[in-house]
Amino acid sequence: MRQRQGRAARSVSRRALLGGAGAGLAIGAVGAVAGERALAVRRPDGTPDLGTAAVPFHGPHQAGILQPPQACAHLAAFDLAPAAGRDGLRTLLRTWSATAARLAAGGAADGQENQIALDAGPCSLTVTFGFGHSLFDKAGLADRRPEALVPLPAFPGDALDPARSDGDLWVQIGADDALVAFHALRVLQKQAAGLAVPRWQMSGFARTPGATPHPMTGRNLMGQVDGTNNPKPTEADFGAKVFADGPAWLAGGSYAVVRRIRMLLDDWEGLPTDRQERVIGRRKADGAPLSGGADATERTPVDLAATHPDGTLAVAPDAHIRVAAPASNGGAAMLRRGFSYQDGLLADGSPDAGLLFVAFQADPARGFVPVQRRLARGDGLARFLRHEASGLYAVPPGAPEGGYVGQPLLEG
């Protein structure tokens, strides 16, 4: 077992500040930078309780973007019922928003009746809503659809299942307790009855708070530290990278790209660790870039020009971190906030497991699209991945107290 940090260091918990390095959000109090707030009842020693930690639903941005990924997540898409129209959509979003706000504060969905997740606090529950391209026609809002909300292009190697892709409405639920997350999903599904039909649903996970001795970027199922180079809320251009500035109803919102990326783990795990590290461009143990030498840490900046004594590049030409780097993509950046998934075994005995990739960005044309274009062609990691589902959603800004998500679109 590894050395523990002292108590003073521990009290600066990733969940407490909602902006530790847990999700690659790096060090820095997101609350101060980006207008988010955090409530967490703390024990006398300063650590917050997992159960009582709460993320307010209301605010300038929706919850579930700036917070580290929670231990349990559900992603779900719904299609608007044919008869629902704009009024039905308004009813649904109003109901969903009110419910999400109550649950996020630790309250009951609709009175104590039939509450599943009694006992627990909100466990950092967040619920995030997004609108797909197809929603706007069905809701009579085609003239208000953002220009940037065009279906993603096909990428080389894509093997997308339409039944698990797209959708009119997207919901991201995260909580540090599985029963709390399940309860929120159930309640929102039931409230959709008659207004929207479930299209697909996926479940994932990230580290449980306290599992690792110190705040650290998450690991994916390949065992690799994943998310280090995410934009940091402390950086001056963070908002410009992550939050949309228009149209007016979307200002302060974002675009979410969602991809179900299966990992070919049998192939990957057949590689020795040094080969895996070369494919990624980082050490497996601590995520330090291969350009940084023995003393490097995860936080050591990547030097894409660094060479070995023999003149070869320290970070290989096809290394994932080189091909994905903003410097390789005209500055394109996005805030990744994915979850791992495992859905058992496929018919051939290989694991049906990988990454529920979720990335927030100000404009997909300056985020996911150019990066994935390069990755699909030149990334040494691509041969270990299968993109099996895909979605793009406009994520409205947060709602103020008394308002609901999407109100400026529907009533503006």
Q: Phi/psi of residue 3, each to 5°?
A: -60, 135
**According to CB under 8 A, which residues from 208 to 247 bind a copy of itself?**
208-213, 216, 219, 221-223
Q: Phi/psi of residue 209, each to 5°?
A: -55, 135
Residue 347 C-beta: closest distance to a copy of itself, Å: 11
Rounded Cα distance, 204 and 355, in Å: 8
Nearest C-alpha neighbor of 393 from the set 166, 159, 221, 205: 166
**Number of residues counted as binding a copy of itself (CB under 8 A):** 73
Residue 289 C-beta: closest distance to a copy of itself, Å: 17
Q: Which is nearer to a copy of itself, 152 or 280 (CB)?
A: 280
4 to 33: interface string for a copy of itself, x by CB under 8 A = x--x--x-----------------------
146 to 175: interface string for a copy of itself, x by CB under 8 A = ------------------------------
Residue 408 C-beta: closest distance to a copy of itself, Å: 31
Nearest C-alpha neighbor of 64 from the set 221, 253, 245, 341: 253
* DSSP E strand stretches across 59-185: 72-80, 126-132, 169-175
Q: Which is nearer to a copy of itself, 202 or 365 (CB)?
A: 202
**According to CB under 8 A, which residues from 369 to 408 bind a copy of itself?**
none
Considering only 29, 33, 98, 202, the residue that binds a copy of itself (CB under 8 A) is: 202
Tell me if 1 sits within 8 A of 202, measured CB to CB: no
Rounded Cα distance, 255 and 250, in Å: 10
Take residue 323 and report the two structure tokens written for it: 């091909």
Length of the chain: 412
**According to CB under 8 A, which residues from 251 to 270 bind a copy of itself?**
265, 269
DSSP secondary structure string for all residues of 1-53:
-PPPPPHHHHHS-HHHHT-SGGGS--SS-HHHHHS---B--B-TTSPBPTTT-
**According to CB under 8 A, which residues from 68 to 127 bind a copy of itself?**
71-72, 106, 112-121, 123
Rounded Cα distance, 170 and 389, in Å: 14
Strand partners, 259: 357, 390
Q: Which is nearer to a copy of itself, 117 or 332 (CB)?
A: 117
**According to CB under 8 A, which residues from 303 to 332 bind a copy of itself?**
none
Rule CB under 8 A: is residue 348 a binding residue for a copy of itself?
no
Rule CB under 8 A: is residue 201 a binding residue for a copy of itself?
yes
Q: Which is nearer to a copy of itself, 114 or 307 (CB)?
A: 114
**Tokens 């040494």 belong to which residue?**
380
Q: Is 274 a catalytic residue?
A: no
Nearest C-alpha neighbor of 138 from the set 219, 223, 199, 64: 199
> Which residue is catalytic, options 168, 176, 177, 226?
226
Considering only 14, 138, 207, 366, the residue that binds a copy of itself (CB under 8 A) is: 207
Catalytic residues: 226
